[in-house]
Amino acid sequence: MEALAVVLPALLLLVIILGSICLIRKLRRRKEALSLEKDLENKEKEMARKEQGQERVGKERKNG
């Protein structure tokens, strides 16, 4: 009976620790995915700005 009194709290503590580790990993993956998505959006915006800049240069050359 005494062994059970020792084992149960130890198992509970182990489950809590493992659950915390899994949660932390999940949050890190989500953060990484959001970071990659943000980088992609920034690259797309940068490419759009470059294209607009080239269009302006082309229009100025035609008008000039």
Residue span of the structural domain in which 43 resides: 1-64
**How high is the pLDDT of residue 51?**
87
Tokens of 4: 């059970």
pLDDT in tens, 8-51: 999 999 999 999 999 999 999 999 999 999 999 999 999 999 98
pTM for the structure as a whole: 0.62
**How high is the pLDDT of residue 63?**
66
- Rounded to the nearest 10°, the torsion over CA 31, 34, 40, 43 is -80
How many domains does the chain divide into?
Answer: 1
Q: How far apart are CA 59 and CA 48, in angstroms?
A: 17
Looking at per-residue confidence, does 46 or 64 come out higher? Answer: 46
Task: Give the pLDDT band of residue 57 (cuts 50, 70, 90).
Answer: low
